[in-house]
Structure 1
Amino acid sequence: MAEKKTKKETTTKSSKSKTEKKTKDAKSFEKTHIEIPIRLFEYYKKDIISSLMKSFNYKNVMQVPKLYKIVVNMGVGAAVADSKVLDEAVKELESITGQKASVRIARKSISNFKLREGMKIGAKVTLRGQRMYEFLDRVINIALPRVRDFRGLSDKSFDGRGNYTIGVKEQIIFPEVDIEQISRIMGMDITFVTTAKTDNEAYELLKAFGVPFIKKEFKSA
């Protein structure tokens, strides 16, 4: 009887410990992802949704396109000869986005570039939720205005499926990167992935967020 009681007590303590951990994790998630208001997300809910519904005659809110994720990619060709360059790129990308970066691997070998399949050639971060909106805010209002002779973005970089990519030539447009601490200038691609069915809808969505396009050059779908 004493042995059975001991096993029961052990099981009870284990279950209690797991429950406490789940509760703690849930509270931590809520504090990080729910309690903090996000300026652009609030603006999307209060203004952008209603504006797009009128512009495209959507029948319900679920049809309104939204920003799904932002993918930031740094290709580092120099990493083939010097692995330290990749380490630097990863560190900078994590500072810029506030999120851990993943290393990109070459899918095939290219002899002319001395590239072998499996080599580490870049770094990537995928942003969603709160960090996505915060990053978008910083790109629009802090980073892009720091580009030399910036006159706006062309709409030529839509992919035909409602996604848009910005090519950034210098990582130093982000204040998180200290120009005196870097060894070289590196660029990156920033891709805005939306749920829009057409480029025209995606264009209007991003424009409403404040993405500074020069002018609308493509024809409406």
Structure 2
Amino acid sequence: MSQPFLRKHYQEVVVPELQKLHGYKNIHQVPRLEKIVINSGVDASADKNVMAELVKDIAAISGQKPVVTKARKSVANFKLREGMPIGVKVTLRGTSMYEFLYRLVAVALPTIRDFRGIPTKFDGRGNYNLGITDVTIFPEISVETHKAHPGLDIAFVTTAQTDDEGRDLLKLFGMPFRRSEAGSKTAA
């Protein structure tokens, strides 16, 4: 089995570039992408068919079967009972992580209408969270058969110590960050 394109790109291009940029002496100091977590939630009072469709869609997008998350405690205001299914999540590592990242950067994000880049806000520890409101940007999802359009959250977990290291890592992977936000931070 051949190596995914982005894993090869990481070893041949990203690692030397980050070593030059941040002055790492050892190859093991260079930040890497640990995992990508995809999750999506649904209304607890929604029809059971909605949950089944969401599981099918996330499985098609990620390439592996998601885990159905259930409510931990009852909340009367939300008509939520303990144990009710409220969403799905899937954690991607290794080959499937690199393949998903490549499809996201090369196929899905460019199909967003009036796309100007993704926000540059990180969590303070080098990890990045991306919210997607319309899952039909992925070619695996059919627009005609899709009734409800739930959004999904994608968390990129890295071994970077700072936001700048994480941003540089994801930028070298091809993540299209907005230019205007980075320019306004330096001007302020």
Same fold (TM over 0.5): yes
Higher RCO (C-alpha 8 Å, min separation 6): 2
Written as runs of structure 1 = structure 2, the 5 A alignment for 1:38-117 is: 38-77=4-43, 79-117=44-82
CA distance in 1: counterparts of 2:148 and 2:185, whole angstroms: 36
CA drift of 1:183 comes to 1.6
Written as runs of structure 1 = structure 2, the 5 A alignment for 1:26-45 is: 35-45=1-11
Contact 1:73 1:122 in 2 (8 A): yes
User: Aligned-residue CA RMSD in angstroms?
Assistant: 1.3
Choose from 88, 93, 96 the match for 1:131. 96
Choose from 159, 164, 171 the match for 1:200. 164
Q: Secondary structure at the match of 2:106?
A: helix
Q: Which has the larger radius of gyration?
A: 1
CA distance in 2: counterparts of 1:72 and 1:39, whole angstroms: 21
Give the match for residue 150 of structure 2: 186
CA drift of 1:150 comes to 0.8
Q: TM-score, length-normalised on structure 1?
A: 0.80
Q: Secondary structure at the match of 1:45?
A: helix
Q: Which runs of 5+ in 1 are unaligned?
A: 1-34
Contact 1:106 1:116 in 2 (8 A): yes
Give the match for residue 21 of structure 1: none
Structure 2: which amino acid aligns with 1:55?
A: L
Give the match for residue 108 of structure 2: 143
Contact 1:80 1:120 in 2 (8 A): no
CA distance in 2: counterparts of 1:143 and 1:81, whole angstroms: 27
Q: TM-score, length-normalised on structure 2?
A: 0.93
CA distance in 2: counterparts of 1:218 and 1:96, whole angstroms: 34
CA distance in 2: counterparts of 1:105 and 1:177, whole angstroms: 24
Show CA shifts across 1:130-151 (max 9, x none): 1100000000011011112110
Identity value in percent: 52
CA drift of 1:83 comes to 1.6
Give the match for residue 172 of structure 1: 136
CA drift of 1:218 comes to 5.5
CA distance in 2: counterparts of 1:100 and 1:54, whole angstroms: 39
CA distance in 1: counterparts of 2:171 and 2:73, whole angstroms: 37
CA distance in 1: counterparts of 2:50 and 2:124, whole angstroms: 34
Q: Secondary structure at the match of 1:62?
A: helix
Please list every run of at least 4 consecutive aligned residues from structure 1 whose deviation after the TM superposition is greater than 4 angstroms: none
Structure 2: which amino acid aligns with 1:60?
A: N
Show CA shifts across 1:119-164 (max 9, x none): 11001111011110000000001101111211001112x1112110
Q: Which has the higher helix share?
A: 1
Q: Which runs of 5+ in 2 are unaligned?
A: none
